[in-house]
Chain A
Amino acid sequence: MAHTKQRRENMTALMFIGVGLFLFTVFIFYPQVKNVYMAFTNYNIMPGSENRFVGFENFKSMFATGGTFGNSDSFMLALRNSVLAVLVTVPGQLILGLVIAIMIDRVSHGRLFYKVMLYIPVISSWVVVSILFKYLFQDTKGSLINYYLLKLNLISHPVAWLQNTWTASAVIWALCIWKGVGWVIIIYNAAIQTLPKELYEVSYLEGANPIQRFFYITLPLLKKTTIYVVVQLTIGAFGIMIQVMLITAGGPMGTTETLNSYMYSKAFTEFQFGYSSAVSLVMGAVVIGTTLLQRKLMREEK
Chain B
Amino acid sequence: MRKKQRSLQIFLHVILIGLVLFSIFPFLYMLATAMTEDSYTMPYPPVIIPKSFYFGNFVSAWTSSNFARFFMNSLFVSTVSTMLTIIVSVMSAYGFAKINFTGKNILFNLYIFSMMIPAVLSLVSQYTVLNAVHLIDTYTGLILLYVSGGIAGNMYFLKGFIEDIPAEYEESVYIDGGSRWTVLRHVILPMCKSSIATLAILSFMGSWDEFFSALTIIKTESKRTLPIAIKMFQGQNATQWGLVFAASLIALVPILLIFITFQKAFVKENEGGGIKG
By the criterion CB–CB under 8 Å, are A24 and B276 in contact?
Answer: no
Q: Are A127 and B276 in touch, CB under 8 angstroms? A: no
Are A103 and B255 interface neighbours, CB within 8 A?
A: no
Interface residues on B, range: 35 or more
B16 at the interface (CB under 8 A from A): yes
Cα distance, A17 to B277, chains bound together (Å)? 28
The complex places the Cα of A115 from the Cα of B128 at a distance, in Å, of: 43
What 0/1 pattern do residues 128 to 159 of A give for CB contact below 8 A with B?
11011101101011111001000000000000
- Which chain A residues in 34-54 approach chain B with CB under 8 Å? 34-35, 38, 43, 45
- Cα separation A287 to B24 with both chains bound (whole Å): 32
Given the known inter-chain contacts A125-B209, A144-B46, please indicate yes or no for A116 contacting B276, CB distance below 8 A: no
Complex: A143 Cα to B8 Cα, angstroms: 36
* Chain A residue at minimum C-beta to C-beta distance from B17: A114
Most buried by B among A31, A136, A268: A31
Most chain A CB atoms below 10 A, which of B9, B16, B33, B152: B16
* Interface of B (DSSP majority class): helix
Is A26 interfacial (CB-CB < 8 Å)?
A: yes
Q: Contacts A28-B151, A178-B23; is A38 near B125 (CB within 8 Å)? A: yes
* Cβ < 8 Å to B, chain A residues 245-302: 246, 260, 263-264, 267-268, 273, 276-277, 280, 283-284, 287-288, 291
Hey, which chain B residues are within 8 Å of A24, CB to CB? 111, 114, 148, 151-152
**B12 touching A125, Cβ below 8 Å:** no
* A142 close to B270 (CB less than 8 A): no
Instruction: Tell me, in angstroms, the Cα distance from A43 to B129 when the chains sit together.
Output: 13
Query: Which residues on B sit within 8 Å (CB–CB) of A45?
Result: 127-128, 131
Asked if B266 contacts A118 (CB within 8 A), the reply is no
Q: Are the C-beta atoms of B270 and A183 separated by less than 8 Å?
A: yes
Q: Is the beta-carbon distance between B20 and A114 smaller than 8 angstroms? A: yes
- Residue of A with least CB distance to B107: A21
Is A31 within 8 A of B126, CB to CB?
yes
> Which of chain A's residues has its CB closest to B268's CB?
A190
Any A CB within 8 A of the CB of B241: yes
With a CB–CB cut-off of 8 A, which chain A residues contact B244?
131
Closest chain A residue to B135, Cβ basis: A27
- The closest CB in chain A to the CB of B121 belongs to A280
Q: How far does the Cβ of A100 sit from chain B's closest Cβ, in whole Å?
A: 6
Which residues 6-33 in A have Cβ within 8 Å of B in the complex? Answer: 6, 9-10, 12-14, 16-17, 19-21, 23-24, 26-32
Q: Are A183 and B209 in contact (CB under 8 A)?
A: no
Across-interface contacts of A142 in B (CB, < 8 A): 41-46
Q: Is B117 an interface residue (CB 8 A)?
A: yes
- Bound form: Cα–Cα A246–B116 in Å: 26
- Beta-carbon contact of A16 and B180 below 8 Å: yes
- Partner pick for A118 among B20, B125, B256, B270, CB 8 A cutoff: B20
- The minimal Cβ–Cβ distance linking A257 to chain B, given in whole angstroms, is 15
Task: Count A-B pairs with CB separation below 8 Å.
Answer: 262
By a CB distance below 8 angstroms, the chain B residues around A287 are 116-118, 121
Contact B44 A232 (CB under 8 A): no
A114 to chain B, nearest CB (A): 5
Known: A28-B114, A131-B230, A241-B212. A190 touches B270 (CB 8 A): yes
**Interchain CA distance A253-B225 in the complex, whole Å:** 30
Given the interface pairs A120-B256, A135-B241, A142-B45, the reply to whether A16 lies near B121 with Cβ below 8 Å is: no
CA distance A140 to B95 in the complex (A): 59
A116 close to B124 (CB less than 8 A): no
Does residue B92 face the partner (Cβ distance < 8 Å to A)? yes
A211 at the interface (CB under 8 A from B): no
The answer to whether B129 and A129 have CB atoms under 8 Å apart is no
Once the chains bind, are A125 and B227 in contact (CB under 8 Å)? yes
Q: Is A112 an interface residue (CB 8 A)?
A: yes
Bound CA–CA A285/B276 (angstroms): 21
Q: What is the 8 Å Cβ interface bit string for chain A, positions 102-127, against chain B (1 contact, 0 not)? A: 01101110101011111111111111
Question: Can you list 19 A-B contacts (CB < 8 A)?
Answer: A9-B101, A20-B88, A28-B122, A34-B128, A34-B129, A104-B16, A108-B9, A112-B263, A119-B259, A120-B259, A128-B252, A129-B26, A131-B231, A131-B248, A133-B26, A182-B23, A186-B274, A260-B121, A264-B120
Contacts A24-B151, A45-B127, A242-B212 given; 16 further ones with Cβ under 8 A? A16-B95, A20-B95, A21-B92, A26-B148, A45-B128, A107-B9, A112-B267, A120-B259, A123-B277, A125-B255, A127-B251, A136-B26, A142-B46, A144-B29, A232-B274, A260-B121
A residues contacting B by CB (< 8 A) are 6, 9-10, 12-14, 16-17, 19-21, 23-24, 26-32, 34-35, 38, 43, 45, 100, 103-104, 106-108, 110, 112, 114-129, 131-133, 135-136, 138, 140-144, 147, 178-180, 182-183, 186-187, 190, 228, 232, 235-236, 239, 241-242, 246, 260, 263-264, 267-268, 273, 276-277, 280, 283-284, 287-288, 291
Q: Give the 3 A-B residue pairs with the shortest CB-CB distance, closest first.
A: A16-B95, A13-B101, A142-B44
